[in-house]
Structure 1
Amino acid sequence: MRPHITDPHQRLQNALDTLDATFAPLSDLPFTVGGCTYCYAESDLQVLAGPVHLVPEDLIPHVAHEATNHWDDFPGLYRRLTPRIVRALTEGRLLHDMVASRYLAAGWRDWPASERAALEEVWQAWWRSALHMHPGTTARTTTRIIDVLETLAVTTGTLKPWLAVWAETRTDAADRHLEDALDTWLIEDDIADLQLGFYDEVYAAPELLRWLCSLERGRVGATQLREIERIVLG
């Protein structure tokens, strides 16, 4: 039995390593990449069909963000490159909402059970790691907590489990993330009509507002709470 990992950052690294190992056999299977030769050179298509670890770093964002109709077998290509795409995603190097929508298009929930489980563990570990670090920074980027939440809500189709974890995570980092999120939702976004995903796949407003009103007293600042209550009461 593997020991329980209590360090959320180490859990994320372990989950990413497991993802690499789980998807590694796909890299060894014969695969032909057909795609838009106006946007991609034949050499790009050849390297994408080869060992996944040899795909150049600068090609990963192009594939991760590209429209699905640019590829003859978009689901197959996205599945093969998942370890590279997801690692870049958790490091804040990709457009989170677009990648989340692409995973829906790739049908990841219909992939083999071992692959789904490895991805689900990354989602869980990434969320907990993000909640324990404020600001959410890596060596290269800063990732907002609302971007992580949007990715997870869209890929899994639900906010509920992610909000539950946030509610039970009583750390200074998690509370500061909540304050930052509310600053965005209440000022930059219309929380009363908030939709998540590149194609607005998740209508988040009702569930999010109910959750905010259910949090322990003092978790949300007085000014922000008054604004939330004003929105809820109409």
Structure 2
Amino acid sequence: MHPYRHALLSALDALDAAFAAEPALPVTGCAYCWGEEYFAELSGPLDALSEETILGVAMEVSDHWNDFPRLYRRLTPLLVRRAVLGGEHGVPADVVASRLREAGCLEWAPGLTDALRAVGAAWWRAVLHGEVRGAGGNPDAGEALGVLTVASGTVRPWLGIWAATRTPYADALLAEYIAQLPYSVGDLGDGWWDDDPRHDPRREVAAWLLRDVRDRLDGLTPDDVMALNEVRCTF
């Protein structure tokens, strides 16, 4: 097994252990969308949950549950595993990231948040080394960066890992990222931040591209530089 994928699987196992003490709760919610049999299933042991139910919870909006934060916290290891590994039972990583924030993941106990960050770091390294394969192939680095930024509330550590990963594969991902900029630089990182403008990472990403990895960006055009400088000075 490739080392970075092995590290990711180990981090996921540690996540399972960190959340193992999360207690069951009586789950209720929108009876129009969910029948009593689903509430009973979600109130029971996690190892009895069907893949259909896990996917349903991953995609459901938060206000359809009586206690969304507790329910999502309890199911976090199941949802995160499926989000980062993909495959037949994969769930959308961007949706899971946004639901984690809604559930208040940044304020959870340190043991839980540390385990989540460890999975994020292991997943990101596996993405940057091409060792994660989802249903559609390798994840897009820009999309993965957005997922991690939403879930963690910061873009800085993920940029640092990318800058430190000086491999041909990571450089190719940078080239792909830059190739998209003429079409999306005005919305760089769109959807990554809260309403609070202090959480907007666009300036930081633009500065990182121009400063920390500039020597690896052969495809950066003068127009790209101008657009990135505008982002760096505006947001």
Same fold (TM over 0.5): yes
Q: Which residue matches 2:200?
A: 203
1:141 and 2:136 correspond: yes
Q: Which residue matches 1:226?
A: 222
* 1:65 Cα offset (Å): 2.1
1:120 and 2:133 correspond: no
Deviates more, 1:74-83 or 1:192-201: 192-201
* 1:104 Cα offset (Å): 1.0
The 8 Å contact of residues 18 and 111 in structure 2, kept in 1 or not, is answered as: yes
1:72 and 2:71 correspond: no
Q: 1:233 to 1:107 in 2, by over 3 A?
A: closer
The 8 Å contact of residues 145 and 177 in structure 1, kept in 2 or not, is answered as: yes
The 8 Å contact of residues 14 and 115 in structure 2, kept in 1 or not, is answered as: yes
Q: Distance in 1 between matches of 2:181 and 2:91?
A: 21
Q: Which residue matches 2:233?
A: none
Aligned residues: 222
| Deviation digits for residues 130-178 of structure 1 (CA, Å, limit 9, x no counterpart) | 11117x523x333211121101111211111111110110111111111
Q: Which residue matches 1:214?
A: 211
TM-score for the superposition, normalised by structure 2: 0.86
Q: Distance in 2 between matches of 1:213 and 1:80?
A: 41
TM-score for the superposition, normalised by structure 1: 0.86
| Deviation digits for residues 47-82 of structure 1 (CA, Å, limit 9, x no counterpart) | 111111221112222211211110000001001100
Name the % identity. Answer: 36
Q: Which amino acid aligns with 1:59?
A: T
* 1:199 Cα offset (Å): 7.2
* 1:228 Cα offset (Å): 2.1
Following superposition, which runs of at least 4 residues in structure 1 exceed 3 angstroms of deviation? Answer: 195-202, 215-218
Q: Distance in 2 between matches of 1:200 and 1:108?
A: 14
Q: Which amino acid aligns with 2:96?
A: V
Q: 1:42 to 1:194 in 2, by over 3 A?
A: same
| Deviation digits for residues 7-29 of structure 1 (CA, Å, limit 9, x no counterpart) | 22211110001111221222xx3
Q: Which residue matches 1:102?
A: 99
